[in-house]
Chain A
Amino acid sequence: MKIIVLAKQVPDTNEVTIDPVTGTLIREGVPSILNPDDANALEEALALKDQNPGTTVSIISMGPPQATYMLRECLSMGADDAYLLSSRAFAGADTAATSTTLAAGVKKIGDYDLIFAGRQAIDGDTAQVGPQTAQRLGIPSVSYVQKIREVKDKTIVVERALEDGFEVIEVQKPCVLTAIKELNMPRYMTVKQIEDAYAKEISVWDEKDLNVSPDKVGLGASPTQVAKSFTPPPKGAGEMLSGTVPEMAATLVAKLNEKHVL
């Protein structure tokens, strides 16, 4: 079996804070990490590799040159080879243009049986790139995959999480499956694997390597654009109640009654 995993390097948004004076994001010291859902995607691919000898797992990402660090981490977890799609031409891409680029990269890698991706990246939270890459490749996709039940000859049976339960879906291969954190627990790297990973070559491809026209990728091919961005305005601070606990409780109830909230 040949499996391709789509991954993204993201800033750890849990570490991002706002400068109270300027209202801007403080990015200094915020580490770049493998997007958490993508780690689940990779883990599932590696688990299938463990169960099915002869399986290979390729990892592909679009991003700046420093995303090779994240790809080395993926190799250290057990991926066989890694590809980075990197070029100034890819910059400013929305999900429509990103999926075009990733689909071109996947086609260049060649044949595959399954593609895994994380459901969404924590910096953008769109959850669109996985399904859109499938559309561009002309293959089906199932998002929010919480469990793989069975890999059959021509199909795969998976569970897709819903808000109040799940669906069992049998989908034709090849297909794109997007992973949520419930799918598995990503493995750790071993020292041996880290050493091996540094011996491996990471292929870096630009638009010429992918044979895509520069007007099909990046900002110029993105239907959506950011008109503005801003830090959310904080709601004005309210009133701190004072007194003993019973006094504060009584004041609160009185005030809520006064405002007809209760």
Chain B
Amino acid sequence: MAVKLLSEKCKGCEKCISLCPQGALSMDGKLAVIGPECNMCNQCTEPKFCPFGAFEYVETAAAEVGVDISLYKDVWVFAEQRDGKLMNVSLELLGEGKKLADNIGCKVCAILCGENVENLITELYEYGADVVYYASAPELKTYNPDSYTKVINDAVVKYKPDIVLFGATHIGRDLGPCVAVKAETGLTADCTQLDIDPTDKKLMQTRPAFGGNLMATIVCPKHRPQMSTVRPGVMSKLERQPNRTGARVDLEVSFKPGDIRMEVVEIVKAMKEIVSLTDAEVIVSGGAGVGSAEGFATVKKLADRLGGVVGASRACVDAGWIDHSHQVGQTGTTVKPRLYIACGISGAIQHLAGMQSSDYIVAINKSDNAPIFEVADYGIVGDLHKVIPAIIDALG
């Protein structure tokens, strides 16, 4: 796969030079030239990019050395546990994995690592796992990239899953890359949408790139497993089915000296308040318009009244008005609550990327041309310090 310039079609208009997101195009006399910055994003083959259709997308024998993909089956989810508790994103991935598995007629399986965490196996069945692969060892008690990578890679080599999904947590985004290299396959980071082509079981992995300005759909055609890390809070978990059961496969675990080259000496929980933005049904978020750390009291009042939590834009976090754990957006948390109320947030694309899939969005902003209004279901132009108290009054 590559992008090629059809020199007979290029008119030398130079229009494309500024449009290429990678800046990969330059002019050589009257012809555009594709430089090494090209990452085959394929934007240039769109008619709006080049009106003369001078860029062509060509299928080449890319990544020639692959594997026999017919040997691989099932969708696996890394069941991430911390302190003996499953992370919510792992349950969300079981829900998503089930959808993918149903599309291609296979099972959804969980792979669970820890020490004496058998009690989590039932929970995984109840959230949709047909099979749980379970590895128990003292070396797996807390996450360690060395021990976890070895165990998961050994299981992948032995059981050959078609797809492996990790939550895009600080742990999943560390483990995924290590396993992908060991398993000699590809990995797509921080996906926000997964689809499967039922004809060839190709996983279409969609993710934001370029600070959320661009979405890219990534495939891994010739290598297996197809691996993704998936952003927490984006997929939906299944309703828990009490007493649902499944199959259990115990993995053999053994380590040689030198396998584990680091030690987790201590885990320190932050004393700060844990803000569960991803689980919240209602989020009331403040932006630059809030004006100060004290201004967040107004925002919090509305959040409390609605039984929600307080979110914030990056501007407020950078200004030190509120802790980073409240930040919604590309570099913060992605949320999709039932109701998102944006107060004094102009709506930078990085912020929108993190909240625009909320069910209902209300925007309150002084400026009637703030971009936030473009994604809002209901917009109110006005000062949030006046509008919020009025809403609280109206709520009775």
Interface residues of A (CB under 8 A from B): 11, 13-14, 16-18, 22-28, 30, 32, 63-64, 86-88, 90-92, 94-96, 99, 122-132, 134-136, 139-144, 157, 160-172, 175, 215, 219-232, 234-235, 237-241, 245-246, 248-250, 252-253, 255-256, 259, 261-262
Contacts of A130 in B (CB 8 A): 177
Q: Which single member of A16, A92, A225, A252 contacts B380 (CB below 8 Å)? A: A252
Give the distance in Å from the alpha carbon of A89 to the alpha carbon of B220 in the complex.
Answer: 20
A223-B186 in contact (CB<8A): yes
- Closest B residue to A103 by CB, please name it: B181
Contacts of A226 in B (CB 8 A): 39-42, 216-218
Add 14 more A-B contacts to A165-B269, A220-B62 (CB < 8 A): A16-B21, A27-B20, A122-B211, A168-B265, A175-B262, A219-B40, A225-B63, A225-B218, A227-B217, A229-B209, A230-B215, A231-B215, A235-B375, A239-B377
Give the distance in Å from the alpha carbon of A157 to the alpha carbon of B34 in the complex.
Answer: 45
Contacts of A91 in B (CB 8 A): 36-39
B71 at the interface (CB under 8 A from A): no
Contacts of B395 in A (CB 8 A): 253, 262
Given A224-B218, A226-B42, decide whether A126 and B190 contact each other with a Cβ distance below 8 A: yes
Q: Which of B111-119, B237-245, B382-390 contacts A (4 or more CB under 8 A)?
A: B382-390
B23 at the interface (CB under 8 A from A): yes
Interface residues of B (CB under 8 A from A): 1-2, 18-23, 35-43, 46, 48-49, 62-66, 142, 145-146, 169-171, 173-174, 176-178, 180-182, 184-190, 204, 208-223, 261-270, 274, 306, 325, 330, 338-339, 349-350, 353, 356, 359-362, 368, 373-382, 386-387, 390-391, 393-395
Given A91-B37, A256-B339, decide whether A225 and B221 contact each other with a Cβ distance below 8 A: yes
Contacts of A28 in B (CB 8 A): 18
Chain B, interface SS category: mixed
Contacts of A250 in B (CB 8 A): 394
Give the distance in Å from the alpha carbon of A232 to the alpha carbon of B213 in the complex.
Answer: 7
Contacts of B265 in A (CB 8 A): 157, 167-170
Chain A, interface SS category: mixed
Contacts of B211 in A (CB 8 A): 13-14, 16, 122-123, 125
- Closest B residue to A124 by CB, please name it: B209
Give the distance in Å from the alpha carbon of A36 to the alpha carbon of B211 in the complex.
Answer: 13
B264-A127 in contact (CB<8A): no
